[in-house]
């Protein structure tokens, strides 16, 4: 430990944040970095605990605690404090293929488990991580590493989200020849089209893709394996196949009026905005626009929040976010939700902050959902009927039950469904002839990434269901390790 009393001397200081009224006028990231001395002070707060829960990645209670990648945060925090930035990057890169992504969009499971957070404020682990990787890029430390020897083995990765990219990066580094297939027109999966530009600028994704191309990974975009490209063709040509197709089947609303115009899934809304932004700078008519409309978002999670922030940047007339579940407590209940469990407490994210600044209120309505969608004379949504919900115990689990007589009508010209995902699209498993689990996810052996076909592996959301970018990277690394062992008879991947 470089600064034994750092956590006592220095207070937590996160990166500053551009004011909501200013940042909704553009699509860039809005958290400028701290200056170097302050960043080193923040790294000095790391205690290098005897038991570093930050890197544990354990299932605890109803969620996970610590980093699923087992990032060695105490080690590279200490190196940052001492100014050894290149070595800090090397230590970070040992466990995390893409710290430039997790440093921006990860909810920081590491910080929730930080020992400093038990009686105070946790270390700014995620922002320290982002500093390490961005400094490495700026100083020329990040360079293409082309394998000196190729194994002669060919691997196909289907899907170029974080799981697919991690698997490809690992296997290419091992010396296998890797081809990544992506059905969209750009590689990156949810990193490219599922996460708005103001959270993750697409130049950051492209920078990593170009690096991987320089290292020998081949990307084939616009190829929908299982539909316009036969799955059998991959099995015939490649020695192993890794499915990282995500969980893209959205949960729908089953209410009267669902077929109205102006009702869209959140992923389609977000994708259309980012694609238009990249293709034409948001040329009118090239995306699903919220400009001048009363917007209602069904769903209170990260995707719902992204819809709120995106609608505000379009120039919506109003925005409301419906959340089925009760409002969480402001702070964790230590009796039922002790440290180092993930804190179950209310989180006001950037989109909600922006809506409050623009419209003077938090956009969220808790314990409320859509009962009916009412169209105008042209068949487009003009308003929705909402209903309150109350929790009810049914068969040992909590279900939300509508309250009779609690209906309210809201004006709405754009309704966005951000209610989560049911699982992967069914045609993937059918095309490859692999088994699925009860929820439609591709089934793998217990504690393994191997499917019912020994040549085919699965990783990420397609296997575990909708989850975090950091889990997807960990899954991709795990599948790469097993695929490498299948190909070579042993593996030295971690």
Taking residues 436-452, report their average pLDDT: 93
Is the pLDDT at 398 greater than 90? The verdict is no
Taking residues 422-439, report their average pLDDT: 92
Instruction: Identify the CATH assignment for 154-248+422-488 out of 1.10.287.110, 3.40.50.1860, 1.10.3720.10, 3.50.50.60.
Output: 3.50.50.60
3-state helix, strand, coil split of the chain in percent (to 5) is 35, 20, 45
The predicted structure's pLDDT at residue 126: 98
The predicted structure's pLDDT at residue 61: 80
Percentage, residues of the chain above pLDDT 70 = 100
Tens-place pLDDT, residues 68-86: 999 999 999 999 999 999 9
The predicted structure's pLDDT at residue 2: 66
Residue with tokens 């279900």: 399
Could you please state the CATH topology (level 3) that the domain comprising 6-138 is classified under: Fumarate Reductase Iron-sulfur Protein; Chain B, domain 2 (1.10.1060)
- The token pair at 131 is 């500093």
pLDDT band for position 210 (50/70/90)?
Answer: very high
H/E segment holding residue 63: strand 63-65
Is the pLDDT at 426 greater than 70? The verdict is yes
The predicted structure's pLDDT at residue 374: 98
Q: CA angle 283-288-289, nearest 5°?
A: 70
Is the pLDDT at 3 greater than 90? The verdict is no
CA–CA distances in Å: residue 250 to residues 28, 297, 343, 422, 466: 27, 14, 27, 6, 10
Residue with tokens 């946790």: 122
The predicted structure's pLDDT at residue 324: 95
Phi and psi angles of residue 4, each rounded to the nearest 5 degrees, phi first = -65, -30
CA–CA separation, 342 vs 352, rounded Å?
21
The predicted structure's pLDDT at residue 1: 62
User: Which class for 235: exposed (0-12), middle (13-18), buried (19 or more C-beta within 10 A)?
Assistant: middle
Domain 154-248+422-488 identical in fold to domain 252-419: yes
H/E segment holding residue 237: helix 231-237
Domain-by-domain residue ranges, the chain?
Answer: 6-138, 154-248+422-488, 252-419
Q: What mean pLDDT, rounded, does the chain reach? A: 96
Taking residues 229-243, report their average pLDDT: 95
* Model pTM score: 0.96
Is the pLDDT at 452 greater than 90? The verdict is yes
Tens-place pLDDT, residues 275-323: 999 999 999 999 999 999 999 999 989 999 999 999 999 999 999 999 9
3-state DSSP call for residue 44? helix
Question: Does 3.50.50.60 match the CATH number of domain 252-419?
Answer: yes
Taking residues 430-450, report their average pLDDT: 93
């Amino acid at each position: 430990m470089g600064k034994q009393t750092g956590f006592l001397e220095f207070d937590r200081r996160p990166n500053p944040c551009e004011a909501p009224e200013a940042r909704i006028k553009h699509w860039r990231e809005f958290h400028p970095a701290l200056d170097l001395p302050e960043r080193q002070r923040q790294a000095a707060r790391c205690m290098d605990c005897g038991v570093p829960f930050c890197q544990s990645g354990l299932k605890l209670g109803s969620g996970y605690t610590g980093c699923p990648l087992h990032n060695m945060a105490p080690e590279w925090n200490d190196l940052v404090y001492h100014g050894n930035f290149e070595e800090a990057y090397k230590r970070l890169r040992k466990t995390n293929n893409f710290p430039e992504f997790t440093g921006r969009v990860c909810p920081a499971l590491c910080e929730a488990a930080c020992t400093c957070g038990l009686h105070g404020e946790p270390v700014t682990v995620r922002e320290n991580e982002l500093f390490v990787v961005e400094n490495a890029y700026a100083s020329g430390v990040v360079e293409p590493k082309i394998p000196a020897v190729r194994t002669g083995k060919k691997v196909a990765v289907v899907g170029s989200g974080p799981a697919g990219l991690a698997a490809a990066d690992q296997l290419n580094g091992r010396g296998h020849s890797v081809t990544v297939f992506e059905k969209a027109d750009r590689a990156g999966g949810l990193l490219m089209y599922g996460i708005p530009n103001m959270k993750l600028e697409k130049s950051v994704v492209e920078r990593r893709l170009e690096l991987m191309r320089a290292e020998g990974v081949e990307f084939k975009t616009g190829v929908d394996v299982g539909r316009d490209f036969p799955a059998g063709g991959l099995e015939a040509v490649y020695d192993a196949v890794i499915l990282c197709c995500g969980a893209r089947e959205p949960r729908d609303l089953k209410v009267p009026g669902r077929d109205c115009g102006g009702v869209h899934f959140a992923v389609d809304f977000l994708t259309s905005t980012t694609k238009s932004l990249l293709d034409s700078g948001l040329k009118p008519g090239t995306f699903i626009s919220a400009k001048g409309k009363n917007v209602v978002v069904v769903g209170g999670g990260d995707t719902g929040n992204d819809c709120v922030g995106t609608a505000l940047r379009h120039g919506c007339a109003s925005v409301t976010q419906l959340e089925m579940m009760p409002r969480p407590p402001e702070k964790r209940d230590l009796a039922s939700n002790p440290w180092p469990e993930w804190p179950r407490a209310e989180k006001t994210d950037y989109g909600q902050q922006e809506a409050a600044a623009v419209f003077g209120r938090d956009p969220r309505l808790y314990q409320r959902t859509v009962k009916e969608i009412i169209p105008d004379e042209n068949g487009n949504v003009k308003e929705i009927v909402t209903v309150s919900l109350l929790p009810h115990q049914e068969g040992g689990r909590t279900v939300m039950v509508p309250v009779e007589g609690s209906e309210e009508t809201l004006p709405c010209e754009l309704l966005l469904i951000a209610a989560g995902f049911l699982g992967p699209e069914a045609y993937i498993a059918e095309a490859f002839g692999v088994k699925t689990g009860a929820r439609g996810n591709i089934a793998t052996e217990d504690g393994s990434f191997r499917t019912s076909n020994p040549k085919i592996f699965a990783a990420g959301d397609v296997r575990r269901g909708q989850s975090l970018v950091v889990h997807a990277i960990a899954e991709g690394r795990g599948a790469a390790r097993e695929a490498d062992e299948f190909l070579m008879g042993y593996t030295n991947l971690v």
